[in-house]
Amino acid sequence: MAALPKNEIVAVIGAGTMGAGIAQVAAQAGHTVFLYDVVDGAAAKAVARTAAALQKRVADGKLDKDDCAGIVGRMQAAKSMDDLAPAALFIEAIAEDMDIKRKLFAGLEALARPEAILATNTSTLSVTAMAAGLTRPERVVGMHFFNPAQVMKLVEVIRGMASDPAVIDTIEDTAKAWGKVTARSRSTPGFIVNRCARPYYGEALRLLEEGVADAATLDAIMTEAGGFRMGPFALMDLIGNDINYRSTRSVFEAYGADPRYRPSLIQQEMVEAGWLGRKTGRGFYRYDGKDAAPIAASEPKADGRAAPLPDNWQSAPVELGPVTLLPTDGRRAADVARALKRPVAVHDLQFDAASKRVVIALSAMADAERRDVIASLQAAGLTVTVVADWPGLVVMRTVAMLANEAYEAMLQGVADGDAIDRAMRFGVNYPRGPVEWARMGGLGRIVAVLDAIHAATGDPRYRVAMNLRLAARDGGPSSPLP
């Protein structure tokens, strides 16, 4: 199937931020778009806001004047549902309420021509359930945009149990024609992004609860060592702790209280306190100017003897006098030191050689040995953060859990590995997809890290996905360090 022809009309129901953004995307692609909202006048106001935003881009030299006029001219505010009847594609972007959406789709099916496609922009609800009871459930599909729709590249294309494969193909081709990156998913709780992103927040909250480091330090570690665009606590404050907590709780309940998705009591308490993040002036950070911005913990300039580090120090053990510096395999530094019978400094995973910060945990050692290790890393131009000696450290623990969730999603047939990687890179701007990162770092190492954390904590959230363990056994790129 080919993309929806440009001469076909697109109807968008819901004139909020998301609906207006989707309407703009379709109009930019050359379609006439009817925008409708149940609130009288809301659609017209949304079209006017879009026109003003586009005209500002013209004034800034970022958009051609004629292109602007064409886009705005193709966006029309519909006065009633009946006005939408000629559309070939209907995209709903209304409240996340199953009953309301099903009622809407029943009404749309009654007025639409039989070959029209009904798409839902839901981020959490079942496409299968939404289509149930309709006369033509095979015409229903998920078309999940990310906010703001006119900026974010990803569209998750969600197939319900009754969705016609040809309809799925048309929606995917249409999204691509609209300049989007697509990722196909089966209709399961959270689809790809909202499910596979849970460990990014969940492990950060657990590390905070466990006293490994404070929020500012954990954010700095994830951005400056892990390469993520925004730290988990800053991101939760931006999203809104209420929204993030609700998403986690929704996935947790949908998967039968699976411990992998267990909500955080800290975040629950913040929601109860009204500390929702940027929108309330206070979350994990303050945004009201009453407190100075928190500073991530890092070691002062060490006066030890700096030894040069070899180029491969990030991936292989290095002897720094009596101390061995080596990458984490999930075990605590104290446990590795007992096995090697010498003091060790275990360092966290880094995104690449250009990472600015290195995170280490230390076994018992003399103060002079500690200073030498820190001095050697600082001499290499790195900011050094020493964290509590805890299984998996920070970046490695998080990446391992992201990879594990991706493999579990693949095991359940939610999506393939390439789709998951695209979704996480373009939907939440991860520096690498979790499957790609796991394969680059070594499946055996990821399994070893998760097994070590599981053994130390006894928490079933760290159980290894069966297909990940089997893939590691059948030839994973690397094995755990000694």
Catalytic residue list: 123, 144, 156, 194
Q: Which residues contact 214 (CB under 8 A, 6 or more apart)?
A: 208, 294, 297
What is d(CA 121, CA 175) in angstroms, rounded to the nearest whole number?
Answer: 13
Other Cβ atoms within 10 Å of 388 Cβ, number: 12
Give CA–CA dist 472/482, Å, rounded: 17
Contact 171, 157 (CB under 8 A): yes
- Tell me the two tokens of residue 253: 């309940």
Which ranges of 75-164 would DSSP assign to H, the alpha helix?
98-111, 127-131
Q: Between vectors from CA 210 to CA 482 and to CA 205, what angle results, nearest 5°?
A: 105
C-alpha to C-alpha distance for 410 and 443, rounded to whole angstroms:
15
Per DSSP (E only), the strands in 16-86 are 33-36, 75-77
- The C-alpha atoms of residue 220 and residue 230 are separated, in whole angstroms, by 9
User: How far apart are the C-alpha atoms of 434 and 407, rounded to whole Å?
Assistant: 9
Q: What CA–CA distance (Å, rounded) separates 468 from 475? A: 11
Looking up tokens 């499957």, which residue turns up? Answer: 435
Which tokens go with 199? 């460990």
Residue 323 is which amino acid? V
Give the number of C-alpha atoms closer than 13 A to the C-alpha of residue 23, restricted to the C-beta side.
34
91 by Cβ neighbours in 10 Å (0-12 / 13-18 / 19+) ranks as buried
Six-digit token pair at 447? 């399994």
Tokens at 23, concatenated? 């309407």
For residues 54 and 352, give the distance between their C-alpha atoms in angstroms, rounded to a whole number.
38
Q: Cα–Cα distances in Å, from 107 out to 100, 103, 134, 312?
A: 11, 6, 10, 63
| SS3 at position 360 | strand
Encoded amino acid at 186, one letter: R
CB–CB of 307/376 below 8 Å? yes
Helix (H, G, I), strand (E, B) or coil at 91: strand
